[in-house]
């Protein structure tokens, strides 16, 4: 264990988690260490663990069932917990991580209603720990490629941009 590195644990290992953990292990390994993966599905967490080993030769990290969240924190002692669970449960893991002594990075939305938001803000106030909300899709493969093309000048000078996102 390297005490000079920031220790990260991730809860929720669905489709967006690679936007967080891949750069962490690929680009920031000198300063950051992934110490655990936690999910309602151990199969999904194990998939990402294996993927990190295969793609980045990253060391094995323990995987935990979501029910064992506090045990994960106790055993792996992360400095920061990355929350990428279902939006409606973000607040649960954010508050639990704060109360366990961790800072938090969460994907947007931070939470889904004002009551949950107030509970998070209260936990921040009580613990003194930080919560950061990431607009993680901004660095996804599609937007990243668009940015590269725009910066290269290949399409000329951009005068206007219109974005529509259809669900």
Confidence of residue 6 (pLDDT cuts 50, 70, 90): very high
Q: What is the pTM of this model?
A: 0.83
Nearest Cα neighbor of 63 from 80, 89, 40 is 40
Confidence of residue 167 (pLDDT cuts 50, 70, 90): low
pLDDT tens digits for 61-79? 999 999 999 999 999 999 9
Strand residue runs (E) in the chain: 6-11, 32-39, 63-65, 80-83, 103-107, 131-134
Between CA 116 and CA 123 the distance in angstroms is 11
Burial class, 1, CB count within 10 angstroms (exposed 0-12 / middle 13-18 / buried 19+): exposed
pLDDT tens digits for 22-48? 999 999 999 999 999 999 999 999 999
The answer to whether residues 37 and 95 touch, using CB atoms and an 8 Å cutoff, is no
């Amino acid at each position: 264990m390297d005490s000079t590195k920031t220790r990260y644990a991730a809860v929720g290992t669905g489709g967006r988690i690679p936007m967080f953990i891949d750069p962490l292990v690929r680009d920031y390994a000198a300063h950051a260490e992934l110490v655990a993966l936690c999910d309602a599905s151990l199969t999904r967490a194990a998939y990402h663990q294996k993927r990190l080993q295969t793609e980045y030769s990253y060391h094995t990290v323990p995987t935990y069932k979501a029910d064992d969240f506090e045990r994960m924190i106790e055993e792996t002692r992360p400095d920061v917990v990355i929350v990428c669970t279902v939006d409606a449960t973000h607040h649960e893991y954010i508050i639990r991580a704060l109360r366990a002594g961790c800072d938090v990075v969460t994907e947007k939305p931070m939470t889904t209603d004002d009551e949950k938001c107030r509970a998070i803000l209260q936990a921040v106030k009580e613990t003194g720990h930080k919560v950061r909300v990431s607009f993680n899709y901004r660095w996804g493969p599609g937007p990243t490629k668009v940015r590269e093309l725009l910066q290269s000048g290949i399409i000329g000078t951009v005068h206007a941009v219109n974005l529509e996102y259809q669900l």
